[in-house]
Amino acid sequence: MASRLVAMLCLVLVAACATPMPAAGPVQAAGPTQAAGGIGGSFSGRYQCGDWNTVDLTLADQGSGRLSAVFTFALQHGSGTASYAMTGQYDERASTFTLTPKGWVKRPPPGYGYSMVGLEGRYDPATKRLTGKIGTFGCGAFELAGAGGPPLPPLPPGSRVTPSQAGNPALRIQPTVQGVEYWDASMADGSGKRVLRESEPIDDVIDWLKRQQYSCVGSQHVPWNAEGTRATARDRIDLRETYVIECDGDCRGLRYVPMTDASIYHFGRNQPVPVMQMRTTWAGGTVLQWVFTREAGGRPPDIYVHHWNAHSFNRAAGCKAPKSVNR
């Protein structure tokens, strides 16, 4: 009886050992796990390999400082995404981590030279932000914001981004701030709130120009781009022209540049709003382009450029923003 049981047990063991192992499938990603140090979770942002591109990183703490992650990036050619799994280490006391590619989860289309890259950086628990570098040749920094943390700041002026991803907030570029800072007499205390005066600064300039027998040629309401960081307008200088800039709204940080080959005289703070006189020696006149810039955020102010000269006669009435009654 005992020998029969032993024989049956041996048959069972042989059958179990003979059972084939299941075939290996695609690399599976572990879901995000919040670790004691707080590094686990979902992150979104950008990385630089050539141009800046967008990335989503799902990071999981496997215990004892071990990490697993999935790196999902937008394809630079066409639409869609690709992703790969990563493994790595996290030093909670130093708040540093490394992640190494493991294998494709969603393989990109062939023929474009896509490859997996590793990450080395630091985690800031206060801002829930991952920052660091990519050691692969041709790549640079990465910046990722964690869920619940503040958004990433804009990229520096002049940054190159993947054209198909240019509308993504993570690839927003800080505008180039240039030119003369706007000032008028109602901003005297620097608070951004208008100082009460007996008359509007623009009214004082209008009176001054009319006393010199100048006439209003016309006004332009300068349109802003979609981000509210850059506005442009074009005009023409025939001989000697005078331009007045009027800003309605929060005008702090507004800068302007008159781009022309004409000579320019700026009256500065001798006048209560910006006034410039421009003169050209070119027969037939020359072109003038206005460029206004400001920091991103908040509603941009309304900008008006008023054109005056001494060789026209009341071609346009007012030369003043429509917020108030023209004289």
Span 75-127, pLDDT tens digits: 887 788 999 999 999 999 999 999 999 999 999 998 888 999 999 999 999 99
- CATH match of 41-171 with 3.40.50.300: no
- pLDDT digits 0-9 by tens, 47-76: 999 899 999 999 999 999 999 999 999 988
CATH code, residues 180-309:
2.60.120
How many angstroms separate the CA atoms of 258 and 287, rounded?
10
Residue ranges of domains in the chain: 41-171, 180-309
Q: Is 139 helix (H, G, I), strand (E, B) or coil?
A: strand
**52, two tokens:** 């800046």
Q: Model confidence over 230-249: pLDDT tens digits?
A: 999 999 998 899 999 999 98
Q: Which residues contact 112 (CB under 8 A, 6 or more apart)?
A: 75, 76, 77
The three-class DSSP label of residue 205 is helix
pLDDT at 175: 66
Decide which of 271 and 34 is more confident: 271
Listed in sequence order, the residues at least 6 apart from 100 whose beta carbon sits closer than 8 Å to its beta carbon are 86, 87, 88, 118
At position 74, the amino acid (one-letter code) is A
Higher-pLDDT residue of 209 and 6 is 209
pLDDT for 144 beyond 90? yes
| 185: DSSP letter | G
Residues of the chain with pLDDT > 70, as a percent, come to 81
The pLDDT of residue 4 is 45
- Give CA–CA dist 220/285, Å, rounded: 19
Phi first, then psi: give them for residue 10, nearest 5 degrees. Answer: -65, -40
Contact status, residue 132 vs residue 122, Cβ threshold 8 Å: yes
- 17 has a pLDDT exceeding 90: no
